[in-house]
Amino acid sequence: MDFSFQDSISKILHSTGFVAMSPGQGVMIAIALILLYLAIWKKFEPLLLLPIGFGCLLANLPLSMMANTNEGGLFNIFYYGVRHEILPPLIFLGVGALTDFGPLLANPKTLMLGAAAQIGVYTTLIGAVALGFNMQEASAIGIIGGADGPTSIFLAAKLAPHLLGPIAVAAYSYMSLVPLIQPPIMRFLTTEKERAVKMEQLKPISQTVKIIFPIASTVIVVLMLPGVAPLLGMLMLGNLFRESGVTARLHETSQTHLINIVTILLALAVGSSMTAESFLTWNTIKIIVLGLLAFCMATAGGVLFGKLMYIFSGGKINPLIGSAGVSAVPMAARVSQKVGQETDKSNFLLMHAMGPNVAGVIGSAVAAGVFLSLFGSGDAGSGHAAIETITTVTTSLGQ
Amino acid sequence: MSLILQSIQVSILSMLVIFLVLGILIGVIKVLVHFLPYMAPPPPPPRAQAPVANASGSSQDDDHIAAIHAVLAHHLGKAPHEIQISNIQTL
């Protein structure tokens, strides 16, 4: 075999990623670096944007085989958990274990605020259709207004997997911007007198009610909307771990190690879906714009319904808690507290806002369930892809 | 245009379903809270008064008091007669 130093150098150079890099990949690497910058230096949802950004970086380095579409690649395997609705429900398990439903149970009327805030989902749906998306895509984009990352990923993976990357990035980016997006809308839609309303102290709730509620609500909601079972079921199971008092270890694991591990897998999988071919399109720009519309409309919907409750309650409900109906637990509740204290420093709205905040989580899961009932493949509740695959694997192992 | 009309119909229908589902949950919560009201936990039983050591205590107590007395005096750098232990409670 002839050895030529020049040929060898040339071969080595041609086997590197530099030669294989396309302009699109260069742009995506820049976007990944921006996400990392926002996560690390600007502290924008760092727990999610950092692994998403790094997943995007790896996926766009040429020849790395780290894109979610590279069969057999590491992130292709991680992405399995998104495609087969495994990871988002596990995140919900952790959220349920972390969340106290007490404020919601003490003031159940606030569930209506969680429902009203879903108006952001539907105005965005209409906007997305007007911009040329089909109903499935528009539904997946609209759910960004639920301000709930796992729900957005869950629905996008089911209805519009090709839009998963931009939808997840828009959802998490805007969630991190909730403290900037919401206050101007809240101040604009409320009067100083309304913002100054001090709400009555929440009454205590018996432990038995806290235990029965997740069971009863799972039965009722899943019977009505079977498609919501993976998300709502896991949310309520996590909460039951918390409230039952007999599963301390499971509760501890769900709210710490499990949710952290799943967050890493989910965020890397989402980041790996952000390839140049899927992300650098006009649709991405449309989704980013629609995502902002979704958050604004959801906030406005919650606050306006809060004003309605203020009127009907004879001024006992502070409309600022309505903005917390956009999920984003507990950041949206903190924003209600902060804006309320701008008017009256002695006003403490945090616990009152936690009611609609939790209601927002349930509301966005229900909204996703409605979309799945209308536009899903009809397998919800009975023949999930994951179950089919597991059955296949079990069968082949048995043979 | 028909797709936009369809999306408006979907939106109205979905909002109705969401309000219905969450409205039912409100009813469930109200029923649960009504039939299972919160009951404050009973106050903890008052702690039994610790027996006060007195001159008629056992000789073992006397030994303990003497030992504590001596150690305290040594620690504070005072003569034992300068320290008076007036009350001892068993924990």
For A277-304, what is each residue's pLDDT tens digit? 888 999 999 999 999 999 999 999 999 9
Report, as an integer, the average pLDDT of A269-284. 90
Q: What is the per-residue pLDDT for A227?
A: 87
Report, as an integer, the average pLDDT of A257-272. 93
Angstrom distance (rounded) from CA A361 to CA A212? 19
Contact between A56 and A34 (Cβ < 8 Å): no
Q: Give DSSP secondary structure letters for A346-366.
A: T---HHHHHHHHHHHHHHHHH
For the stretch A188-242, pLDDT in tens is 999 999 999 999 888 899 999 999 999 999 999 999 999 889 999 999 999 999 9
> Which of B32, B34, B35, B39 best tests the A interface by mutation, with the highest count of A CBs <10 A?
B32
For the stretch A326-381, pLDDT in tens is 988 888 999 999 999 999 989 999 999 999 999 999 999 999 999 998 888 755 44
CB pairs under 8 A between A and B: 104
Contact B14 A105 (CB under 8 A): no
What percent of chain B is predicted at pLDDT more than 70?
A: 79
Which of A213, A217, A363 comes nearest B18 by C-beta?
Answer: A363
Contact B26 A125 (CB under 8 A): no
pTM attached to this predicted model: 0.81
Of A377, A333, A378, A367, which is closest to residue A353 (Cα–Cα)?
A333
Q: Tell me the one-letter amino acid at A334.
A: R
ipTM, 2 dp: 0.84
Provide the sign of the torsion angle of the four alpha carbons A87, A93, A99, A102, taken in this order. positive
The mean pLDDT value of chain A amounts to: 89
pLDDT of A15 strictly over 70 = yes
Contact A129 B30 (CB under 8 A): no
Where exactly are the structural domains of chain B?
1-39, 50-91
User: Chain B: nearest CA to A317, how far in angstroms?
Assistant: 17
For the stretch A102-158, pLDDT in tens is 999 999 999 999 999 999 999 999 999 999 999 999 999 999 998 888 999 999 999
> SS3 letters for chain B?
CHHHHHHHHHHHHHHHHHHHHHHHHHHHHHHHHHHCCCCCCCCCCCCCCCCECCCCCCHHHHHHHHHHHHHHHHHHCCCHHHCCCCCCECC
| Token reading at A51 | 């692994």
Q: Where are the beta strands (DSSP E) in A213-370?
A: none
Give residue ranges of A with CB < 8 Å to any B CB. Answer: 104-105, 108-109, 111-112, 114-115, 118-119, 121-123, 125-126, 129-130, 134-135, 138, 203-206, 208-209, 212-213, 216-217, 220-221, 224-225, 359, 362-363, 366-367, 370-371, 374
> Which of A118, A131, A211, A372 best tests the B interface by mutation, with the highest count of B CBs <10 A?
A118
Contact A221 B21 (CB under 8 A): yes
Contact B32 A224 (CB under 8 A): no
Which of B19, B32, B33 comes nearest A115 by C-beta?
Answer: B19
Confidence category of residue A17, pLDDT binned at 50, 70, 90: confident
| Integer CA distances (angstroms), A84 to A89, A385, B71, B79, in order | 11, 6, 71, 81
Q: What is the per-residue pLDDT for B49?
A: 61
Where exactly are the structural domains of chain A?
99-250+276-378
Strand partners for B52: B89
User: Chain B: nearest CA to A371, how far in angstroms?
Assistant: 8
